[in-house]
Amino acid sequence: MVDITHKSNTLRSATAQATVSVSTIETIKAIENNKVPKGNIFEMSKAAGLLAVKKTPELLPDCHPMPIEFTGVEYEIKDLEIIIKVTVKTIYKTGVEVEAMHGASVVALNIYDMLKPIDKGIEIKTIKLLEKKGGKSSFPIADISGLKVGIIVCSDSLFKGEGIDKSGLVIKEKMQKFGLKTSEIFIVSDDLDKIQNAVKDLKKIYNIIVLTGGTGLSPRDNTPEAILPLLDKRLSGAEETIRRYGQDRMPFAMLSRSIVGTLDETLILSLPGSSKGVEESLDAVFPALFHSFKMMNGDKH
């Protein structure tokens, strides 16, 4: 299956439709008067559809098991057609369009099975997706053309030339994947003044400044203390999201002191020093965090 561990949960829904066509008006009358020998086709087919939605990953190997938090089945009779609509909802990392289509398919198939003793001309017609919500299409990325990203690595050892920077490269690669221009990677010592001066210099040029390192608990971890006095507004929700996302993946994420906020019209993030911590932090808040630029321009959600 496709790896979705980097994704975050969102409310997702999908509605699919299937159509069953019968050959005579007598079949429709038998349905409406509940005279079908095998029983009430709507109730029994609804039960079949509910089971189908839940069992989708058991039958389609690339579908992820997920919590199904709502399934609704609706029917409409038009002339000689029974129109079936199945809506599925979940709060999860991936969508439910296949589950909805599978449910609609099985509802239609069960109706076929129940009606075939009284009608030999039944046909299952188009099965299609009507609507899906909650994925990338529902939360499009704001216009980020022209944004430039400055990168600062806070590390005494790297500043002295000891070791190899990995976290700055992760930031650079991630931001470039969004099509953003990135700076060279600036390495500064863990001195509070040096960090503040670097941020003040870069904010004159860059729309986003991402710092890595110095968010832990050692005596030289000064990055949050350097950044906080500079911020005009603090984005506590983004900070909480970074820690919650990390906490779902490893227990020590709760010890991170990541900071997110704005300075004038520049977005500033202070992230952990480990390359894995940086990668997960960026996955947690981007691309949604680009929406902050619309808000800073006075636009509404």
CATH of domain 148-296: 3.40.980.10
Q: Return the pLDDT at 178.
A: 93
Q: Which of 3, 62, 113, 201 is catalytic?
A: 113
The pTM of the whole model exceeds 0.85:
no
- One-letter-per-residue 3-state SS of the chain: CCCCCCCCCEEEEEEEEEEEECCCHHHHHHHHCCCCCCCCHHHHHHHHHHHHHHCHHHHCCCCCCCCCCEEEEEEEEECCEEEEEEEEEEEECCCCHHHHHHHHHHHHHHHHHHHCCCCCCCEEEEEEEEEEECCCCCCCCCCCCCCEEEEEEECHHHHCCCCCCCHHHHHHHHHHHCCCEEEEEEEECCCHHHHHHHHHHHCCCCCEEEEECCCCCCCCCCHHHHHHHHCCEECHHHHHHHHHHHHCCCHHHHHCCCEEEEECCEEEEEECCCHHHHHHHHHHHCCHHHHHHHHHCCCCC
Ranges in the chain annotated CATH 3.40.980.10: 148-296
What are 154-178's pLDDT values in tens digits?
999 999 999 999 999 999 999 999 9
Residues of the chain with CATH 3.30.70.640: 10-133
In CATH, which of 3.40.367.20, 2.40.40.20, 3.30.930.10, 3.30.70.640 is domain 10-133?
3.30.70.640
pLDDT in tens, 208-251: 999 999 999 999 999 999 999 999 999 999 999 999 999 999 89
Q: Report the pLDDT averaged over residues 36-44.
A: 96
Tell me: the pLDDT tens digits for 92-115?
A: 999 999 999 999 999 999 999 999
Instruction: Clarify whether 113 is annotated catalytic.
Output: yes
